[in-house]
Amino acid sequence: MLSLKEIKEKLEVATGSETWIQELENDTRIGAQKLLKSWNRKQQMILVEKQAHEAKVLFDRSYCANENELVAGVDEAGRGPLAGPVVTAAVILNNDAEDLIGLNDSKQLSKEKRNELAIKIKNNAISYFIHFQTVEKIDELNIYEATKQSMTESVLQLHKRPSIVLVDAMKLPIDIQTHSIIKGDAQSLVIAAASILAKTARDEYMDQLHEKYPQYLFNKHAGYGTKEHVERIEKYGPTEHHRKTFEPIKSILKK
């Protein structure tokens, strides 16, 4: 009979086809049953993630007339913050992207998981481009237009021209078939991938900004208008990286 330690080690690499797993079901030891129950839960989660992944792939391919058409996903990070750029990304993925099972809306994933997935996305991408839209441009145009321009640029800079562009809740002025998808990062694999690339790139930028301006704690709130961030703006004043047309910065500058 296998020891509980041996069972645990074997379950960590088990696929479910092993005959000894069926035998384990008859093991009367409480510890053995706990290990089996935990493994079954993990397998169910893997199955759910795989099904969700396949549904996202099918969603993206549903816009294609043939299997050779390339689909680009576009998303942004940072429309709401008081400081820092808005970052957009466009990405075209390989059809076979099983490495990306578990890819979801960036807001639902931990920072560690996002960083891990960002590497996998880049490795599985036919083409991707990340664009940083400056604070100056945001203040000049307004956040909506600045985001639209940035998204457009990220698509145009792809070294492979896509046949279809799927964008998270935005219409772009480009001569490529484009679809605006509400909550696209929850439905589309390519939009979810773009969301991860934009979010991780922006977080890295804000972490670097924190090194220059540690008193604002950009690494903690990424420029969003938290109570702590606003208090520090009032205490130290806005930096060149703060959006002058956003409240409460606009009012603070008038004082």
Is residue 200 scored above 80 in pLDDT?
yes
pLDDT at 39: 92
A 10 A CB-CB count for 38 gives: 12
Is residue 109 scored above 90 in pLDDT?
no
User: In Å, how far are 82, 112, 117, 196, 247 from 106, measured between CA atoms?
Assistant: 20, 11, 10, 5, 26
pLDDT band at residue 207 using 50, 70 and 90 as cut-offs = very high
pLDDT band at residue 215 using 50, 70 and 90 as cut-offs = very high
Residue 16 CA to residue 163 CA, distance in Å, equals 40
What does the pLDDT look like over 131-150, one tens digit per residue? 999 999 999 999 999 999 99
| 3-state percent breakdown (helix, strand, coil) of the chain, nearest 5 | 55, 15, 30
Residue 136 CA to residue 107 CA, distance in Å, equals 26
User: Who contacts 45 (Cβ-Cβ below 8 Å, separation ≥6)?
Assistant: none
pLDDT at 88: 98
CA pseudo-torsion sign 32, 34, 50, 77: negative
- Domains of the chain, earliest start first: 4-61 (no CATH), 71-202 (3.30.420.10), 209-254 (no CATH)
pLDDT at 1: 77
What does the pLDDT look like over 223-237, one tens digit per residue? 999 999 999 999 999
Is residue 59 scored above 80 in pLDDT?
yes
Whether residue 231 contacts residue 141, with contact meaning beta carbons closer than 8 Å, is answered with no
Is residue 168 scored above 80 in pLDDT?
yes
pLDDT at 106: 77
User: Who contacts 192 (Cβ-Cβ below 8 Å, separation ≥6)?
Assistant: 56, 73, 75, 103, 104, 105, 106, 185, 186
What does the pLDDT look like over 146-166, one tens digit per residue? 999 999 999 999 999 999 999
What does the pLDDT look like over 14-57, one tens digit per residue? 888 888 888 898 898 999 999 999 999 988 888 888 999 999 99
Is residue 255 scored above 80 in pLDDT?
no
Residue 170 CA to residue 116 CA, distance in Å, equals 27
pLDDT at 97: 82
Whole-model pTM: value is 0.89
A 10 A CB-CB count for 66 gives: 7
Whether residue 191 contacts residue 166, with contact meaning beta carbons closer than 8 Å, is answered with yes
pLDDT at 125: 97
Is residue 96 scored above 80 in pLDDT?
no
